[in-house]
Amino acid sequence: MPHDITFAARFRRLLELKPLDRPRAKDLVCTDGTVRFEHVYFGYGKINVLEDFNLSIASGTKVAILGPTGVRKSTIFDLLLQRSLPAKGRIFIDGQHLSGLEIASGQVGIVDQPGRLLNRSILNNLLLAKPGATLDEVRNVCRKVQIDEEIMQRPGGYDSPAGADGKNFSGGQKQKLLIARLLLQLPRIALIDEGTSALDVEVERAVKKIIDTAFSGRTVIFIAHRLSTVKNVDRIILLGENGKVLEDGTHEELLAKRGQYWRLWQHHRGK
């Protein structure tokens, strides 16, 4: 129906987090999922967030970005998705400078806080990630994140309203829906910003395994505070003030250095 088509188009724009308007922008071609920041500077007013920030992420890598709350790690996602533009420097995806490019739905996906659900049915909210998906496909990803049964217990099942900004769901249920939508979208690059923070530890661990399997060979960048969720990624990057990279390596490599990450891990383990 025309209404559904309009809604789908609107939501796909929301999935892309309303990138800045560039009327003559060309489409980004993302086939590998490499990411590179070169000498990037960015700030909010007089507050510098990134100064001469450099970062390269290889295709198919699972990366976790850690750091204190004040570091504003989410700024990296804002810049990648073109919510904001750097004051200086360049950002590349698959070797293409993002300036003047449009990121289409299906290339880069995100689960963040607070997440975006519209006041439509649960099914419509999920289908916006993949308009042609069947109900079986939708239910399959929802089963994987342990939300299908909860949805089916509602009077309207998948036709039940999500509510404005997902108000008809708890924080954990909403995160499950957002992750299910990401699994349905299956972009080349997935950005997950505290995307499992409202889940209990056991469910979070199970969902993390689902993400690892579904995104095998694809690039995933996590921002997280729970160290247990990032232990098994390919690479952990610890940021400091102004986006300075303090430590960079695998979990085992960083523990061996006995630096800041080691201290964080000891605190996490209660030692």
Letter string b/e over residues 115-150, b meaning 16 or more CB atoms within 10 A of that residue's CB: bbbbebbbbbbbbbbbeebeeeebbebbebbbbbee
pLDDT of residue 23: 55
pLDDT of residue 3: 42
Nearest of 34, 62, 33 to residue 220 by alpha carbon = 62
pLDDT of residue 1: 39
pLDDT of residue 254: 96
Nearest of 73, 65, 56 to residue 242 by alpha carbon = 73
Residue 81 CA to its chain's centroid (Å): 10
- Residue ranges of the domains in the chain? 2-268
Alpha-carbon distance of 23 to 166, in angstroms, equals 31
The domain defined by 2-268 folds into Rossmann fold (3.40.50)
DSSP collapsed to 3 states, 60-82: CCEEEEECCHHHCCHHHHHHHCC
CA angle 255, 207, 155 (to 5 degrees): 155
Q: What is the pTM of this model?
A: 0.89
Classify 156 as helix, strand or coil: coil
DSSP state of 19: P
CB under 8 Å to 129, separation ≥6 — which residues? 15, 105, 109, 181, 182, 184, 185
Q: What is the mean pLDDT of each run of 10 residues along the chain (271 residues)?
A: 44 49 73 97 90 97 90 90 93 94 84 85 94 96 97 96 90 94 96 90 90 96 86 94 94 96 90 63
